[in-house]
Amino acid sequence: MNFEKVKEILELNRQVYDDVEKKYKLDLFESDYMIDIQFIESALKADENVHLLNLPLKNESVGAVACTIGFKHFILLNTNISRGERNYHLAHDYYHIKHEHSNEVRTLICEIRDKSGEVAVDYSNPHKNRTEKMASLYASMVLLPDKYLKKSYESICKYHPDDLKARVCEIMNLKMVPFTLVVIRLRELGLIDEDEFRTLLLADQAMLENTFDKYGINKDCIELADESNYKMLEERLIEVATRESGEVADYSINKIIKIISLTFDIDLGDDNE
Amino acid sequence: MLILENIKAYQAYMGITNAQIARDLGIQPMAVSRFLNGDNPKYDDLMKYSKYFGVDLAFFDNDNFDPSVMLGKNEMEDRETIFYSGSLSSHDPEVLETVESIVELFKHLNLLIMDHGMRL
C-alpha cells in the first residue's frame, strides 16, 4: 500500500483518537463487554432495520457500499475481497448504524469504500467527514484493541524475534483482520518504529502468502470471504413475485435481476434471463 | 394520476418552482411541466423526481397524502445532498457506475420490503 496514503490515515486517526477513545471506552476496553467481529455480525443480523448482503461484485476495487434509506440500513459486502477486509468494513458500518445518533434519518446517505477501507466517494454532506474518520478509527480499535494488541504483539515477538512480517501475519490470523490495519495499529501504538513501518508497507500479496506458508499460519484472513447470499435473495424475490402481482413489484424485481446480472459476478442461469 | 398530484402538492408545499427543478436536474422547464401534467409517467421519471425530493416513491403513492408529514428541519439540506450525489465526475466512472447500480438495487429492495412485505 502507498506509504503516503497510510501516513495520511495515521494523521486522520490522530485527529479523532481522543474522541473515539473517550466515547466508546466500554466497547474498546472493558473486558466483560469488549466486542469483536462475531458480536458485531450478530448484532447487525439481529437488527430488523439492517439488511446485510454478501455478494460478489464484478468490480473488485469496491469493498463495501452502505446506504441508509429512511430508517432502513443496507450494507453490501463484496465477497470478492478477503475475510479480513470484509471484517473491517463490517465494523465500520456497525459504528455508523449503532453509534451515530444522527437526526438525518431521512437523508439518503451513501458511501463507497475501497479495499483498504478508506472512503473513496462520500455521497453525504461534508459534515460527515469527521464521522467517517471516527468510524474508521472505531473499526480499527474494536478489531485490534490497544491492550490486546500490545500484549499479543509482545508474546508473538518471542516466537518470531527476527521476522517482522511473520508477527503481522500471526495477528492477522488471530483477529481475522487485513494487513494494512495491523501495520497501522502497530505504528499507532508505537510497537514498531518508522523503519519497520516502511519495511512492512513494501510487502506485497505474494510475500505475505509466503510468510503464511513458511510458518504454517492459517490463511483464512487473506482468503476470499466467499459467503454469497445470492440464493437467499433469489428465494425471497421468487416469494414476493409469487405472492404479489402488480406493475411496481414486477418492475422492481426485474430491475434487481438486471442489476445483479450486470454488476455482480453471479451466474443467473437461463431461468432468470 | 394520484402520484403526480401528490408530487405537485409536495412541490408547492416546499415552494419549489418548475424552473428550479429543471435547473437542478439539468433538463428543460417544459420537460418538467410535461411530466407533472402528463397522465402516463415513466417509472424511471417517477423515481427521478422522488429521488430529487429525497423521499421514497411510496411516499407519493398515498390516498391520504400530507406533505407536511415529511418536513423536518433538515429537509432542504437533504434534498441538496441527494442532488449533488449525481455530480461526482472526478471519480472512476466504473466505480461510480457500480455504486449507482448498488444504490438502485437497495432502493428496489427497500420498496419490496416496505410495500410488498419482502423479508431479507
In B, minimum Cα distance to A248 occurs at B43
Nearest CB to A69 within list B101, B110, B112: B110
Residues 182-241 (A) with a CB less than 8 A from some CB of B: 233, 236-237, 239-240
Which stretches does DSSP call E strand in A2-62?
Answer: 50-55
Nearest CB to A106 within list B78, B94, B102: B78
> How many Å apart are CA B24 and CA B22, to the nearest integer?
6
pLDDT, residue A31, reads: 47
Tell me: ipTM over 0.95: no
Note whether A249 contacts B72, CB cutoff 8 Å. no
pLDDT of residue B31 exceeding 80, the answer is yes
Residues of chain B contacting A259 with CB distance shorter than 8 Å: 101-102, 104-105, 108
pLDDT, residue A171, reads: 96
List, edge to edge, every strand of the sheet that includes A50-55.
Answer: A50-55, A72-78, A64-69, A109-113, A119-122
Note whether A124 contacts B81, CB cutoff 8 Å. yes
Q: Among A83-87, A194-198, B43-47, B93-97, whose mean pLDDT is lowest?
A: B93-97
Check if A72 contacts B (Cβ < 8 Å).
Answer: yes
Look at residues A179, A171, A183, A186 and name the one whose alpha carbon lies nearest to residue A218: A171
Determine how β-strand A50-55 pairs with β-strand A72-78: parallel
Note whether A107 contacts B98, CB cutoff 8 Å. no
Query: What's the burial of A84, exposed, middle or buried (CB within 10 Å: 0-12/13-18/19+)?
Result: buried
Note whether A107 contacts B85, CB cutoff 8 Å. no
C-alpha cell at A98: 449503532
Nearest CB to A107 within list B78, B114, B119: B78
Query: A55 near A79, Cβ under 8 Å?
Result: yes
> How many Å apart are CA A202 and CA A175, to the nearest integer?
22
End-to-end Cα spacing for chain B: 32
Q: How many CB pairs under 8 A join A and B?
A: 129
pLDDT of residue B89 exceeding 60, the answer is no
Q: Who has greater pLDDT, B118 or B86?
A: B118
Helix, strand, or coil here: A165?
helix
pLDDT, residue A262, reads: 92
Q: Report phi then psi at A204, rounded to 5.
A: -105, 180
pLDDT, residue A29, reads: 59
pLDDT tier at B86, thresholds 50, 70, 90 = very low
pLDDT tier at B83, thresholds 50, 70, 90 = very low
> How many Å apart are CA A267 and CA A260, to the nearest integer?
9
Report the residue of B82, B108, B119 to disrupt the A interface, i.e. the one with the largest count of A CBs within 10 Å: B108
CB atoms within 10 A of CB A63: 26
CB atoms within 10 A of CB A195: 8
Note whether B103 contacts A125, CB cutoff 8 Å. no
CB atoms within 10 A of CB A217: 17
pLDDT tier at B72, thresholds 50, 70, 90 = very low
Residues in chain A: 273
Q: Give the global pTM.
A: 0.71
pLDDT of residue B45 exceeding 80, the answer is yes
Amino acid at the residue A219: K
Q: What angle do CA A128, A130, A132 make, to 5 degrees?
A: 70
Q: Which residues are CB-neighbours of A97 under 8 A, at least 6 positions away? A: A44, A47, A50, A73
Q: Which residues are CB-neighbours of B22 under 8 A, at least 6 positions away? A: B28, B29, B31, B32
pLDDT, residue B52, reads: 77
Query: B108 near A256, Cβ under 8 Å?
Result: yes
Residue with cell 423536518: B72
Amino acid at the residue A35: I
Residue-by-residue pLDDT tens, chain A, 273 positions: 677 778 878 887 887 888 888 777 666 655 445 678 888 888 888 888 889 999 999 987 788 888 777 777 888 888 988 899 889 888 888 887 777 654 444 445 666 676 666 666 555 544 445 667 788 888 888 899 888 899 999 999 999 999 999 999 999 999 999 999 999 999 999 999 999 999 999 999 899 999 999 999 999 999 998 788 899 999 999 988 888 777 778 888 999 999 999 999 987 765 544
Note whether B101 contacts A259, CB cutoff 8 Å. yes
The alpha carbon of A198 is separated from its chain's Cα centroid by a whole number of angstroms, namely: 24
> How many Å apart are CA B86 and CA B26, to the nearest integer?
11
Helix, strand, or coil here: A105?
coil
CB atoms within 10 A of CB A130: 13
pLDDT, residue A152, reads: 92
pLDDT tier at B93, thresholds 50, 70, 90 = confident
Query: A68 near B107, Cβ under 8 Å?
Result: no
> How many Å apart are CA A85 and CA A222, to the nearest integer?
8
Q: Who has greater pLDDT, B53 or A29?
A: B53
pLDDT, average across residues B2-10: 84
pLDDT, residue B78, reads: 39
CB environment A92-120: b (16+ within 10 A), e (fewer): bbbbbbbbeeeebebbbbbbbbbbbbbbb
